[in-house]
Every structure is written in structure tokens, then in C-alpha cells.
């Protein structure tokens, strides 16, 4: 680098993104179906969320942990979806799970297991005090987790 030159800057990630209403509804339905255990799944997109990609669809997965306190995407589901997204020139736009009795905020365990820095981490909370005041539905929030740093990303509604 020459004297006076500035180091390269990383592109700033968006502070808000659009989530289609159909995907939001599917996340909530899957969380309710899997209750009392945490649910999990993947949102497939046309590009990384961190680069402005769009969410295309939700793919529910099995929770190998089958627990109300943690989730683990079933390895067979993860392999199947990895191959399908690669073959379709798509990406994991979002990693999704639910919290059954706590806010839709990443736990220390969630942060330590955040291995996809270009994806968003979406949480659905089924806690009674986390209901969305506007819709009456469970709260859904999104987070970018990179190297242990957590930033909330606003979810904007979008009709398909």
C-alpha cells in the first residue's frame, strides 16, 4: 500500500431487508407445528442476504436435537438442501429457528454456532410477551452474526 492510501473497506451490510409475507407465515406455522420443541429450517435466496439477495422460499428441516432449548438442523436435510441450492445457483439466505419461551434474540449458544456469515439468522419467538403488536402473530426478528458480533436487521414486509 502506498503512503496515504486508505485500506480497502468492507461493504457495509444492509440494516434492513425484505421478507415476503408468505415466508414469514411459513416460519410461524412451522414453529407452531414443532412446539414444544424448537423448530429449524433454511430460507433459500437468489444471493447472500449480506449482499442484498432476495429471500425466495422457506425450507423446513427436522430438528435433530428435538429439544425445547436448542436446535440442530438434521444433517441429511442440510446435505440435501446444500446440493439443491448449489445445483440451482441459489444460497442459504437465512438460517431459522424458534425460541419457545424466550425472546427472538440469539442466545450465546446460537452465536457460537453461527457458521454462515453471509446469511441472516432469523428467530421466531413463541413467548406470550413477544407477540407482534401490529399483527398479533409471534415475533420474528433477524440478526447478522459475524465473528461473534451481533447486529439486528430490520425485517420489512413484502407481499409476493
Q: Tell me the per-residue pLDDT of 11-23, one tens digit each, with 9 for 90 and over.
A: 445 699 999 999 9
Average pLDDT over residues 71-94: 98
* Distance separating the N- and C-terminal Cα atoms of the chain: 47
Report all structural domains of the chain as residue ranges with CATH numbers, in order of start: 16-158 (3.40.140.10)
Q: Let me know: does 86 contact 111? Beta carbons within 8 Å.
A: no
The DSSP secondary-structure symbol of 6 reads P
Check whether 56 has a pLDDT greater than 50: yes
Average pLDDT over residues 80-100: 98
pLDDT at 33: 98
Instruction: Catalogue the E-assigned strands of 16-86.
Output: 16-20, 40-45, 55-61
Instruction: Catalogue the E-assigned strands of the chain.
Output: 16-20, 40-45, 55-61, 91-99, 120-125, 139-146, 149-158
Q: Let me know: does 95 contact 42? Beta carbons within 8 Å.
A: yes
- What average pLDDT does the structure give for the chain? 91
What percent of the chain is predicted at pLDDT more than 70?
Answer: 91
The DSSP secondary-structure symbol of 97 reads E
Q: What is this structure's pTM?
A: 0.89
Average pLDDT over residues 106-132: 95
**Judging by beta carbons within 10 Å of its beta carbon (0-12, 13-18, 19+), is residue 137 exposed, middle or buried?**
middle
Check whether 95 has a pLDDT greater than 80: yes
Instruction: Name the β-bridge partners of 150.
Output: 145
Check whether 121 has a pLDDT greater than 80: yes
Three-state DSSP class for 98? strand
Amino acid at each position: 500500500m502506498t503512503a496515504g492510501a486508505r485500506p480497502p473497506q468492507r461493504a457495509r451490510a444492509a440494516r434492513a431487508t425484505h421478507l415476503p409475507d408468505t415466508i414469514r407465515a411459513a416460519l410461524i406455522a412451522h414453529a407452531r407445528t414443532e412446539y414444544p420443541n424448537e423448530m429449524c429450517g433454511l430460507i433459500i435466496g437468489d444471493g447472500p442476504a449480506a449482499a442484498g439477495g432476495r429471500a425466495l422460499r422457506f425450507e423446513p428441516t427436522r430438528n435433530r436435537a428435538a429439544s425445547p432449548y436448542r436446535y440442530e438442523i438434521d444433517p441429511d436435510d442440510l446435505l440435501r438442501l446444500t446440493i439443491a441450492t448449489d445445483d440451482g445457483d441459489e444460497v442459504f439466505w437465512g438460517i431459522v429457528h424458534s425460541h419457545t419461551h424466550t425472546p427472538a434474540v440469539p442466545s450465546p449458544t446460537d452465536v457460537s454456532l453461527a457458521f454462515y456469515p453471509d446469511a441472516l439468522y432469523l428467530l421466531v419467538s413463541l413467548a406470550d410477551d413477544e407477540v407482534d403488536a401490529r399483527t398479533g402473530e409471534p415475533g420474528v426478528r433477524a440478526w447478522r452474526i459475524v465473528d461473534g458480533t451481533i447486529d439486528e436487521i430490520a425485517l420489512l414486509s413484502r407481499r409476493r
